[in-house]
Structure 1
Amino acid sequence: MVGVGAGIGGGLVYLGLHSIQHLAFGYSEGSFLEGLLEAPPVNRVVALVVAGIVGAVGWYFLRAWGRRRADHAVVSVEAAVGGKRMPGLVTLLNAALQVVIVGLGASIGREVAPREIAAWWASWLADRAGVSARERRILVACGAGAGLAAVYNVPFGGAVFAVEILLAEISFATVLPALATSAIAALVARLVVPANPLYVVEQVPLHPQIVVWAILAGPIVGFAAVGFVRLTRLAQNHRPKSWGILIVMPLVFAAVGVASLWLPAILGNGRSLGQLALSASLPVVIILVITLVKTAATVGTIGAGAAGGTLTPSLAIGAGLGLTLGGVWQLAWPGEPLAAFALLGAAAFLAVTMRAPLTALLLVMEFTNQGPELLAPIMLCVAGAVAVGYVLERGRVTGVA
């Protein structure tokens, strides 16, 4: 039942998001970026302004409600796994606001919405079934992972997300329900979610230069990812309180919309930039500029008070950074397809921002439908990035960094 509910929730999020995109930008086929390019450029600014107003008003009242009544405050998935109860109406409204603003082009991830919906459903079921506290914790975590699996069609990645990040426990009691719920959710959501990979990427062969690059670039990507994490954390801690969101969010969103007149790939959850980088569709310098602006747009969106995730933005930024470093590397040792560098950069950057190397590795492999050919260099790059991230974050806690 948890898997079925998560699959339905993920499917509804997918349908809602794409319906809003098609309505806002007037396209019926093709990718989000293709729709943006076909629509009049002014639509991007108008859509972002509308997103800013809707998000600001919605979250202002939702959070004010939570401040007046503690039992109506938004509860995160992590807190729900820890035992807190998720209020149904508030959770659904919070998820709906995320879907609306991302559909209108806000620069933030969509993956939190299906996770919250599925976690709330699992929590509700667990309470009705009268299970133990430990069983409830496992079901809520598995529900959240299944929501991720459903909306992106990544059953293995969703299961590992639940086990590695939310539960941090590998046992029969966690792995079996995680695998089952994510598999069921992905199958149910497949009624509306396409079965094809999220990104179209050529099968990249293994060459010696990518192995050497993976060892050298991993720490660099890890350093950049830690910087992104600290920026988003700073933005989260300084987002506007109370009525300030009514001013800040529309202004920030309007600024992102204006920037998209020249760089449309910065809009949305990051899939557009990720696809451009993973297919090396544009010159490296242009991809780098889009990556930098996308980073600023995502941090600004979080700082403006929007709720959402950083999964796909992180993957996109990592792919852009990997492509850039790969372009420089090719000047000294040419021969490797640029897509390989973007792929490794995406996995390494995502591993640090999620603090979950296994989940990041599996998600990137499922997103791009890559075979085992590049598994070893991806693991090397991820290991180097995560090691640097661990050292820097530990140093920050202890006061060294």
Structure 2
Amino acid sequence: MPSSADSSLTRANMRFAAAIVLTGIVAGIVGWVCIHLLHLVEYLAWGVTSGTLLEAVTASSPIHRVTVLALAGLIAALSWTLFFRKNRTIVSVSEAVHGRRMPVLRTLWHAITQIIIVGLGASIGREVAPREVSAALGAWISDTLGLDSRDRRIIVACGAGAGLAAVYSIPLSGAVYTLEILLVTLNARTVAPALTICAIAVLVTTGWERPAAFYTVPSVSATLSLTVWALICGPLIGWAGLQFRRIVHSFENARPRSSHLLWTLPLALTAVGVISIWVPSVLGNGQASAQTQFDAAWLGGLGLRVALVTLLAKAVTTLVTIRSGGWGGTLTPSVALGAGLGAVTGMLWSLMWPGTSLAAFVFIGAAVFLGSSMKAPFTGLILVIEFTHQGAELLVPACVAIGGAVAATAWAQRSATSDT
């Protein structure tokens, strides 16, 4: 007969298995709701029924753009002012992974506000909302099933990764994000749940068929020119990603959490609306800005100017949104900024050494910058591969660039530590 210890272990493993399945299903539902809520807001605000947000924004009048962004600022200000009125704090996913309680209703409130303002055009990412809600519900499932602290930590982290996977239909990226950033552990007890939960979540959200690529990218191939560029520019773009991360963290810590939000957010997002009169691609989570960089080669002599203006405008609008009190993600904005750096440096490089598709520079720039800004090089590369449905042909120069970026950012961090 089995011992009581064996029976107890079996029951614990059965509860863990149940938590894996339930968390995957719940994260998939969360992703589906976030996608459709975003589309509903975009339809109401911009009339998006088919096509892209950028096409709808471009077709709208300047007054409409400014008005909608001012409305976004007012909604965000009122929501977060009420949220923080009684010294309520926002529990991050990383804090929840380490055991801090993540109230489900407050997390829903916070997440819905993020989705609404992104749909209205705020220059911030939408990926934090499904991660937070899925993590909170994963914690609730773990507590309901009576999981121990180790298994609870795994389920909460996997729930967050699955929320990311579901909203973009990127199962492998969600699993790698979970393992590289949240759990920082590779063993059977973490790898199996991460892959399984993300797969279930994507299946629930989008079914068996994979949706179209998040970014439309022409066929790309590696060249000697691209590889040399990657060797030189990879560390520079990686260093830029690290600096962006530092600025974002500084602005996140300094953003207001009081009634000051009632003027900072409406003012900031109105300014974003004004900028969109000339650079409409700054609106939204960053997809439009990154796609503009992939398309810059088709603009001929104007390509470099468009790429540079789009890069600077997206950086300014994203940072202003965060500093004024906005909450949201920086994943897709980081892709846009990295794509911009890849486009600008790639165009200049091609003047000296032609023969490489601009999209290849943009792809690698996005992967390097994203990986450096997240301190997760594998996640950055896999994300851009799944976003574009491209990348196998560019793995050699991409790895050269990312390796150089990792070395450069490690050196920069050590230098900063020694200086202090």
Instruction: Name the TM-score class by shorter chain.
Output: over 0.9
With over 3 angstroms needed to count, the CA separation of the structure-2 counterparts of 1:232 and 1:172, relative to structure 1, is: same
What is the correspondence of 1:36-185 to structure 2 with a 5 Å cutoff?
Answer: 36-65=57-86, 67=87, 73-185=89-201
**8 Å CA contact retained: 2:245, 2:374:** no
Instruction: State the Cα distance separating 1:368 from its structure 2 match.
Output: 0.5
In the other structure, the counterpart of 1:356 is 376
Aligned Cα RMSD in Å? 1.4
Cα deviation, 1:294-346, whole Å, max 9, x if unaligned, reads 10110110001111110000000000110000001001100101111000000
Paired residues of 2:239 and 2:372 also in contact (CA < 8 A): no
Instruction: Find the aligned partners of 2:343 and 2:137 in 1 and give their Cα distance.
Output: 40
In structure 2, which of residues 232, 242, 265 is the aligned counterpart of residue 216 of structure 1? 232
Distance 2:141 2:180 in 1: 23
Aligned partner letter, 2:116 = V
Give aligned pairs, total: 395
The match for 2:206 is 190
Give the counterpart of 1:14 among 35, 41, 56: 35
Residue 350 of structure 1 aligns with an amino acid whose one-letter code is L
1:321 to 341, 357, 363: 341
Q: How far apart, in 1, do the equivalents of 2:38 and 2:418 lie?
A: 42
Structure 1 runs of 4+ with >3 Å offset: 191-194
Q: How does 1:251-266 map to 2 (within 5 A)?
A: 251-266=267-282
1:398 aligns with 2:408: no
Q: C-alpha separation between the residues in 2 aligned to 1:129 and 1:208?
A: 55
C-alpha contact (below 8 Å) 1:123/1:140 kept by paired residues: yes
**Amino acid in the other structure paired with 2:283:** L
Which region of structure 1 is more displaced relative to structure 2, 191-200 or 284-293? Answer: 191-200
Change (3 A) 1:58 1:192: farther
2:10 matched residue in structure 1: none
Instruction: Indicate yes or no: 2:285 matched with 1:269.
Output: yes
What SS does structure 2 have at the residue aligned with 1:34? helix
SS in 2 for 1:344: helix
Q: How far off is 1:390 after superposition? A: 2.0
How far did residue 227 of structure 1 move?
2.2
Amino acid at match of 1:382: I
CA distance in 1, matches of 2:325, 2:257: 8
Q: Is the 8 A contact 2:292 2:307 kept in 1?
A: yes
Structure with larger Rg: 2
> What TM-score do the two structures reach when normalised by structure 1?
0.96
Q: CA deviation at 1:394?
A: 2.9
When structure 1 is superposed on structure 2, of 282-291 and 134-143 the one drifting more is 282-291
Q: Work out the CA distance in 1 between the residues paired with 2:266 and 2:207.
A: 36
Structure 1 residue 173 displacement after superposition: 0.5
What is the aligned partner in structure 1 of residue 218 from structure 2? 202
- Equivalent residue for 1:29, pick from 35, 44, 50: 50
Structure 2 distance, partners of 1:252, 1:17, is: 21
- Paired residues of 1:51 and 1:253 also in contact (CA < 8 A): yes
Report Cα offsets for 1:200-248 as digits up to 9, x if no partner: 1112012111111111111110122122122212211221241111111
Aligned twin of 1:228: 244
1:337 counterpart residue number = 357
1:117 and 1:145 mapped to 2: Cα distance? 11
Distance 1:393 1:97 in 2: 34
| Stretch deviating more after TM superposition (365-374 or 389-398) | 389-398
Structure 2 counterpart SS, 1:242: coil
Mapped to 2, the partners of 1:147 and 1:241 lie a distance apart of 26
Retained in 2: the 8 A contact 1:51–1:104? Answer: yes
> What is the TM-score when the length of structure 2 is the normalising length?
0.92
More displaced, 360-369 or 239-248? 239-248
Corresponding residue for residue 377 of structure 1:
397
Name the SS of the counterpart of 2:277 in structure 1: coil
> What secondary structure sits across from 1:53 in the alignment?
helix
Q: Whole-Å Cα distance in 2 between the matches of residues 76 and 298 of structure 1?
A: 20
Tell me, in whole angstroms, the C-alpha distance in 2 between the residues paired with 1:111 and 1:397.
31
In structure 1, the partner of 2:15 is: none
Q: Show CA shifts across 1:114-144 (max 9, x none).
A: 0001101100000000011000000000000
Which residue is 1:288 aligned to? 308
SS at match of 2:278: coil
Q: Does 1:312 align with 2:332?
A: yes
Deviation of 1:191 (Å): 4.9
- TM-aligned CA deviation for residue 192 of structure 1: 11
- Where does the alignment leave 5 or more consecutive residues of structure 1 unmatched? none
Deviation of 1:194 (Å): 6.4
2:267 is the alignment partner of 1:246: no
Q: Offset of 1:279 from its aligned partner?
A: 2.9
Deviation (angstroms), 1:73: 2.9
CA distance in 2, matches of 1:380, 1:22: 42
For residues 179 and 208 of structure 2, the distance between their equivalents in structure 1, rounded to whole angstroms, comes to 26
CA separation of 1:208/1:387 partners in 2, compared to 1, >3 Å: closer, same or farther?
same
Identical residues among aligned pairs (%): 46
What code does the residue aligned with 2:191 have? Answer: V
